[in-house]
Amino acid sequence: MSIDTTATEPIADGRHDFDFFAGTWHVHHRRVTDALDPDCDEWIEFEGTDEVRLILNGLGNCDTLRVPELPGGGSLEGFTLRLFEPETGLWRIWWASTGRPGVLDEPVVGRFVDGVGTFECRDVVNGVELLVRYVWSDITPDSARWQQFFSFDDGATWHLNWIMTSTRTAD
């Protein structure tokens, strides 16, 4: 992984890095049909909403993502918990969803640098060991982009498998 989680020099206080995300969002999703197949190039698209609230005096936030109708049927609800550790300047992000009931994913860990947030971890998804990377970019007061990548070769290559484009709605 490329995120330095052992920095000994003072880190800028990033506790407000996710403040932009508080509120209600319309989310356009674009996701590969099989994220565990690095050669998969079939994408599906669908719409959802995301409600985000700040917690712990700015040291965290949580959101509930709702997709009422997935292509092919069914729905999806997800929950994200993000917690900031002031001593290291790192964020940890946990994800759980109805797509994998009863599973709280390993937290991705990272920070924002020059307006782009990069967060990574090792995980096992359906028995497959891989690296996970989340990237937050193109952040404005009314929009943001999130991307998820998997690496099956210890970070030598990364495969984009999910893009969420969020647009703020009236709260």
The span from the CA of 11 to the CA of 86, in Å, is: 8
- DSSP sequence for 92-142: EEEEEETTSTT--PPPEEEEEETTEEEEEEEEEETTEEEEEEEEEEEEETT
Query: What are 14-69's pLDDT values in tens digits?
Result: 999 999 999 999 999 999 999 999 999 999 999 999 999 999 998 999 999 999 99
Whether the predicted pLDDT of 2 surpasses 90: no
Q: Which CATH architecture has domain 20-32+44-168?
A: Beta Barrel (2.40)
Structure tokens at 67: 């997709």
**43-57 as b/e: b if 16+ CB within 10 A:** eeebebebebebeee
The confidence score (pLDDT) of residue 34 equals: 96
Query: What are 103-125's pLDDT values in tens digits?
Result: 999 999 999 999 999 999 999 99
In the chain, the amino acid numbered 150 is F
Structure tokens at 78: 């997800």
Domain ranges of the chain: 20-32+44-168
Using the structure block, give the residue that is written with the tokens 């049909």.
Answer: 33
The confidence score (pLDDT) of residue 105 equals: 92
Query: What are 122-156's pLDDT values in tens digits?
Result: 999 989 999 999 999 999 999 999 999 999 999 99
Other Cβ atoms closer than 10 A to 30: 15
Q: Which of these, 19, 22, 3, lies nearest to 11 by C-alpha position?
A: 3
Read off the pLDDT band of 3 (50, 70, 90): low
